Amino acid sequence: MAGLEERLNGIGMRALAEAWLARRGVTLDAIAELVLDLQRKYVPGLTLEACRASVEHVLDKREVQNAIFTGIALDELAERGQLDPPLGAMLRRDDSLYGIDEVLALSITNVYGSIGLTNFGYLDKTKPGVIGRINGDAGHVNTFLDDLVSAVAAAAAARIAHAARDGDLLPADPA
């Protein structure tokens, strides 16, 4: 059981991760909508509120926060032209051979097992909702952001899938 200071610190880090996503144009509600679309056909009566709560639980994880800070920092450095060649140019053109954006995102999906990975592949391929908007945003470098958002949505959906299978939609102390 974490001490009070550690738990407060955890909440502060989640709020920071949420703020970093928001400054790149991504709200938790937009991610929750992706989760709802992924899970509504498997979990009757699933609400946007429950999906948002699942997204918040995913964002409580330290490795998820760290992936978000790292990926967004690299997108923003590339956007400002502050990364040396060849990295800056690869990130600015979202080079398909770069691949580290997907690898970083796996550190998020790995937390929730193979369902998370399957969901991530689906979102990465179909690019629904906010993911499509991020991808089509020519004014920003979002090479890491699209994968981070897909991974958080995939993990939150996997968490709901596991909870539904266990007959406990939103456990008080989820894994």
Summarize as ranges the residues that interact with Mg ion (CB under 5 A): 101, 143, 146-147
- By C-beta, is 79 or 146 nearer to Mg ion? 146
Q: Give me the least distance between CB of 124 and Mg ion, in Å please.
A: 8
Which CB sits closer to Mg ion, 60 or 137? Answer: 137
Q: How far apart are CA 54 and CA 56, in angstroms?
A: 5
Residue closer to Mg ion, measured from CB, 10 or 110: 110
> 128 with 173: CB under 8 angstroms?
no
Peptide bond into 86 cis (omega under 30): yes
Which single residue is written with the structure tokens 């990130």?
A: 91
Residue 112 in contact with residue 157, Cβ under 8 Å?
Answer: no
